[in-house]
Structure 1
């Protein structure tokens, strides 16, 4: 038997263009779009819940800061005696602390702290939403990659069966049979790895958007059209206007300013007023009124004021640093996105458009006996490489698009 590649009859051409059906397990999965994934994230994400709980805790503290101190009611009985004589005095006291110096400052500080906590929650939500978007892109890509590999693997399975029949008929060389078997084994391994990657991506997406012990979810296919172009000036302007981190830093500065005012006013003590009723055993009785004022001889709250001043300076520095970091982040995200978008247009328009035609031409040549089966399968391999290259490029493009939206402080959504 000759070891050279044999020519195939026209009836042996495998239908490579036939769509391979989805796995049954994938069909039973819940498939979500990006908008639904983000909605589920806002309802179920545990990290976001924790941040929201911390914000509510500070909101409760701000509400408590508005409460007045409770009055104190005290009853005292003093028995007195001398020799065989005895007397007694009975007091009924009501005391109330008057917060007139630092009350308004403390309330304002608590409110600003609660506002800063809400801003931090908004910033955390935006950061976590970016993780959801990237997990969604990975899950969608993993599903597409699995389908493409399943499609090409199906071709090699058919080719392996066809070559085995031809070998039994004496119409195929041993080299061709072993080559097809090797290619099939290689693609079976790739398909198994793609299935494992798809399951892992589903679980990661479910971890971010679903409650505990919820089943995994699949992501819808990414749009075939590329995301829109964005100008650099527009990106910078939007970021400096809408980034939640800037609102967070501004809220923290306002909170520290309020805390500094409260610390300075704490140096002025709050007086207390006492009123009561006194009754003596000799029949005398009457009301009394007193006032107490702490004297700020030793504690003038200077240390707390100095600490508040330092925290204010730190918050202002963080605000300036945040603006610089956001500008740099936008520039990096914009450069990465525009570069990937140009590369995507180049490959889609010039280099990858002919991959489907190449496979179709190879099928036609094989059906007419002008191409060996091994050559046809090499064309299928090239088709697989082109498809996966396009998938990876689309993944990179959408990931960088969502990162640019995140850097701009814009809602994450498909255009």
Structure 2
């Protein structure tokens, strides 16, 4: 007889769980906040960000300028040739009081040559600038993807949090209905009935608050992906990070080759080339000109051919200002590269320690705390229906179970966000598109 009672009690305890799962699914499918909203996986979100993110598009917009600078630097000569033409009308007085009109013309060609190797230095600077621009784009793409994954994980976490809160809400509402019947039958006091109603209302308020936070998180994700204003995406996927295929040494090696550091290396080389270019500019450029023309009367035309060479003397201005600015730029980039390299390594080590601690905490919650709380919640529901415990004991068990689930979900969320920050700081190539 006792076994039959326990079997029926277990079945009655499982029915609310199934009903809760169905209600949660219907809420996600039929809620107006989610109606017509796209369901995105993380790969879908990355693809949309690669195409429409403003920060990434702004970084890509710098490529034409760098490519144009390189095309100019690769020209055979930096200075364009100069062509000059002159035509004159000369009136020559004659002895017979008449005037002879002579029409004369000349044609000239001049070219300025750099004599201190500026052409090769300028090409090197342009090539390094273009390489730095491409590395900045790669780094921007990594940062955008990391931000997309972080916001995606927050949306996913809030969706799971709402499901958990709704499960507890339904359990509390079932308990409140049972207490209401007992109060009507005179088995429980009005205080228990009021307590049950207040607890149910608090649970509903918590669910409503989480739904507001979820809408805000989805709006932030939609803004990052540049989706239409009326489309707030849903997240589909697993919150827990997959097994990590790297160690701390792997991450530190990857950090040394991070696109941000490579961009600084290219910028340093470009700044060094510009400094060499400004120093070479102290040497004067030589301008060579060739002229030809016709002068004199028609019956005695004179053909003139001339060769000219001009060379400015660097007496008063020796390009000291430009050299100083280039030296400052080169020194500042060196300082930035050294500081960034140190900060990246320190950030990777700190995030690795945080990731390790979070993973250990999450494993403890999964293996020891949460199973006991779930078992207590199931047994308390059975005991409450059997009249063995009161409402206060039931609510206490539900609150403990909910707090344990919240702690686990918070740990899972923080672990995922820390993993994203760790791989972004180390420049880890986790996807084929970024390799």
Q: TM-score range by the shorter chain?
A: 0.7 to 0.9
1:57 and 2:60 correspond: no
2:293 is paired with a residue whose SS is strand
Q: Distance in 2 between matches of 1:350 and 1:363?
A: 21
Q: Distance in 2 between matches of 1:350 and 1:387?
A: 12
Question: Which residue is 1:232 aligned to?
Answer: 248
Question: Which residue is 2:216 aligned to?
Answer: 200
- The TM-score normalised by the length of structure 2 is 0.84
Runs of 4+ that moved beyond 6 A: 9-14
Q: Once the 2 structures are TM-superposed, how far is the Cα of residue 135 of structure 1 from its aligned partner?
A: 1.1
2:317 is paired with a residue whose SS is coil
For 1:13-412, what aligned pairs fall within 5 Å after superposition? 15-18=15-18, 19=21, 20-22=23-25, 23=27, 24-25=30-31, 26=34, 28-67=36-75, 68=77, 69-83=79-93, 84-86=98-100, 87-101=102-116, 102-211=118-227, 213=229, 215-224=231-240, 227-228=243-244, 230-240=246-256, 242-282=257-297, 283-412=301-430
- The TM-score normalised by the length of structure 1 is 0.88
1:222 is paired with a residue whose SS is coil
Q: Once the 2 structures are TM-superposed, how far is the Cα of residue 143 of structure 1 from its aligned partner?
A: 0.9
Q: Once the 2 structures are TM-superposed, how far is the Cα of residue 64 of structure 1 from its aligned partner?
A: 2.6
| Equivalences, count | 405
Unaligned runs of 5+ in 1: 1-8
Q: 1:51 to 1:239 in 2, by over 3 A?
A: same
Q: Once the 2 structures are TM-superposed, how far is the Cα of residue 108 of structure 1 from its aligned partner?
A: 1.7
Q: Distance in 1 between matches of 2:131 and 2:303?
A: 53
Q: Distance in 2 between matches of 1:206 and 1:310?
A: 42
Q: 1:162 to 1:403 in 2, by over 3 A?
A: same
Q: 1:154 to 1:181 in 2, by over 3 A?
A: same
Q: Once the 2 structures are TM-superposed, how far is the Cα of residue 171 of structure 1 from its aligned partner?
A: 4.3
Deviations 1:107-164 (A, max 9, x none): 2212212222222222233233222221122111111111111222223333334444
Q: Which structure ranks higher in relative contact order (CA pairs < 8 Å, sequence separation ≥ 6)? A: 1
Is the contact between residue 370 and residue 401 of structure 2 (CA under 8 Å) also seen in structure 1?
no
Stretch moving more, 196-205 or 349-358:
349-358
Q: 1:36 to 1:407 in 2, by over 3 A?
A: same
Is the contact between residue 70 and residue 130 of structure 2 (CA under 8 Å) also seen in structure 1?
yes
Unaligned runs of 5+ in 2: 1-7
1:375 is paired with a residue whose SS is helix
Q: Distance in 2 between matches of 1:57 and 1:355?
A: 62
Coordinate RMSD, CA, aligned:
2.7
1:333 is paired with a residue whose SS is helix
Is the contact between residue 240 and residue 416 of structure 2 (CA under 8 Å) also seen in structure 1?
no
1:352 is paired with a residue whose SS is helix
Q: Distance in 2 between matches of 1:194 and 1:34?
A: 22
Question: Which residue is 1:5 aligned to?
Answer: none
Q: Distance in 1 between matches of 2:179 and 2:285?
A: 97
